[in-house]
Amino acid sequence: MNLENLNNEFYELELRFDVLFLLSTVLVSDSSLPSELEDMIYDGDMDDFSSLGLAQEAEDWDKQEVIDWLIENKRFGWLCKAATPVRDYLDADSYSSSWSCYTTKWLYADDFDELLKRAKSWVAACDVNFKSRRLNKEVAA
């Protein structure tokens, strides 16, 4: 993987990883998790947990239950908090965006290449959503 090419691709996609963990390296101590991972566990909603394959009831689990599940289910891969600016479509083909207003999503994959595919797919889905909001506004007007 050429990191300069990856940087250019992320720039073109308007994608960044605000947080990136290799879970096999952070699940070594349940008493000292990185603060971003603890925040995800304590404040996370089902959308956050679903990226890991956790069940609906996991939303009410405590930190230790989540950690135990991750280990028992061999979730040792890559977890990231992907981010992309909210695009304000001016028409069907042009938009404005800024990193001062962005959306995020937690994504998980066992290997980094798969994580990249999921992040790119997520950005594409966000773009469709942003564009459809604009088109819906035009129809309502």
- Using CA atoms in the order 113, 115, 119, 124, what is the torsion angle rounded to 10 degrees? 60
pLDDT band at 93 (very low <50, low <70, confident <90, very high): confident
Question: pLDDT averaged over the chain?
Answer: 88
Q: What is the pLDDT of residue 53?
A: 85
Question: Does 141 have pLDDT greater than 60?
Answer: no
Boundaries of domain holding 73? 3-140
The residue-averaged pLDDT of 109-136 equals 92
pLDDT higher at 13 or 54: 13
pLDDT at 18: 96
Residue type, 82: A
User: Total structural domains in the chain?
Assistant: 1
pLDDT tens-digit map of 7-20: 999 999 999 999 99
